Amino acid sequence: MFNKYKMNLQVKAPNNFADSCTLNEAVELFYQKNGFGPIVGDREPLTVGVYTGCLIVPMPNIGVRHKYLKYHDMHHILTGYTVGRIGEGEVSAWELGTGSMFRHPVLGVMNLIALSTGFFLKPKRMLQAYRRGLVSSNTYDAQSRQWIDANGAARLSELKRLKLEHKNTVFLAPLRWLEFAVYLSLAMLIHAVVVIPALILRIVSYALAGEPFIEIIKPVKRSDLY
């Protein structure tokens, strides 16, 4: 969802790295493993492709995304979730569970977009990821970001100890699950607002090009779901 790097969609394995890795090593391995590489040129693209259902929709490449991108990637490393449609949905559900919506609304909205896709594909895994997030903490707060930036030589195990499933109880658990129901409703609304017009446009465009209707609606086998 967030990544500014070019993605090799054939990489499907979980992002599991040894706890003995340093944070800098883990980030470097994460980029290598997933086929990411820096964008060529001095200017960032104006838009970035975001998974929304069966489509990749261009979204504005805004400053908030740049600010938090590294820490979103760190969440993939901490949780082991992949960078495919399902994995992005999982890490977004996890982030929402940790309170990302209250850290920055833009982060929350981006999480909702990925959650909508992930929930359509693997609803149980989204619920499990959210539950995991309820007893974890994200790295989006200023103190955590500063710690990560200043401690690249720290072991991954240390950050996991501080952030991953470190809470014994969930404060007001019933309300947190009601919160998830609200998130899911908003995610489905966003999904409908973005995807339905795009699908109609696709059908009309293909029909005007003379494509048979059965070919227009036939699902395409995808390699980027993981």
Q: Is 14 part of any domain?
A: no
Across 209-218, average pLDDT: 58
Q: Is 12 part of any domain?
A: no
Cα(117)–Cα(84) distance, integer angstroms: 11
Q: Is 4 part of any domain?
A: no
Q: Is 7 part of any domain?
A: no
Reported as a pLDDT band with limits 50, 70 and 90, residue 108 is very high
Q: Quick check: 21 pLDDT over 90?
A: yes
Across 186-215, average pLDDT: 76
Look at the chain and report how many structural domains it folds into: 1
Q: Quick check: 5 pLDDT over 60?
A: no
Q: Quick check: 222 pLDDT over 50?
A: yes
The range of the structural domain enclosing residue 136 comes to 23-217
Q: Is 49 part of any domain?
A: yes
Q: What pLDDT, on the 0 to 100 scale, is given for residue 50?
A: 65
Nearest to 85 by CA among 166, 29, 145, 12: 12
Q: Is 140 part of any domain?
A: yes
Q: Is 141 part of any domain?
A: yes
Please, what is the Cα angle at 157 between 161 and 125, to 5 degrees?
70
Neighbouring CB atoms inside 10 A of 62's CB total 13
The lowest-confidence range among 115-124, 135-144, 176-185, 191-200 is 191-200
Q: What pLDDT, on the 0 to 100 scale, is given for residue 9?
A: 37
For 52, half-sphere exposure in the C-beta direction (CA atoms, 13 angstrom radius) is 24
The length of the chain is 226
pLDDT digits (tens, 9 = 90+) for 42-101: 446 656 666 665 566 666 666 777 889 899 999 999 999 999 889 999 999 999 999 999
Neighbouring CB atoms inside 10 A of 40's CB total 6
Q: Is 18 part of any domain?
A: no
pLDDT digits (tens, 9 = 90+) for 122-178: 999 999 999 999 999 999 999 999 999 999 999 999 999 999 999 999 989 999 999
Question: E strands along the chain, which residues?
Answer: 47-52, 55-60
Reported as a pLDDT band with limits 50, 70 and 90, residue 193 is confident
